[in-house]
Amino acid sequence: WTNVFINCTIKPITEKNQIKNSELLSEPSFYQHLVNLCDELANIYQAFSKKNMQPDRRPLSAITAEALLNAASHVATQTMANSSSMLKDIQAGRRLELDYLNGYIVKLAAAAGLDCPINEQLIADLTANSAIINWSKSNKHAV
């Protein structure tokens, strides 16, 4: 779950803002977005984990917002010179992983009866951004 959540934070924020991973931590507004997203993800996970168990009937382990933020920050630090795969995908005109990442989180939140405005807004922003980029690529030779 932690890896899924890290991908749900770093990838969409870097893509939305067209930044390298290092800028996620160095720019205060990007970092605050990361903090807020980690809070939302942890709340969704905690609600989901109360209703679900692992196959052997043990409760799922807790993921806190602080632990998620620390893990995402660690990954962003370790990969600071990199561009996320989602940013590379949109630059290349490929389909984004939104349905498998943040879209899945929205479904989990709905199943738990929770709102997830940050994830929903990221999806809306990235979908619009992807449509704009794909439209401009397909029409670059149009007069």
DSSP 66-130: HHHHHHHHHHHHHTTTPPPHHHHHHHTTPPPSTTTTHHHHHHHHHHTT---HHHHHHHHHHHHHH
Is 133 a residue whose pLDDT tops 50?
no
**pTM for the complete prediction?**
0.79
Q: Which two tokens stand for residue 97?
A: 């992983």
pLDDT confidence tier of residue 59, bands split at 50, 70 and 90 = low
Most confident of 54-63, 76-85, 122-131: 76-85
Is 41 a residue whose pLDDT tops 50?
yes
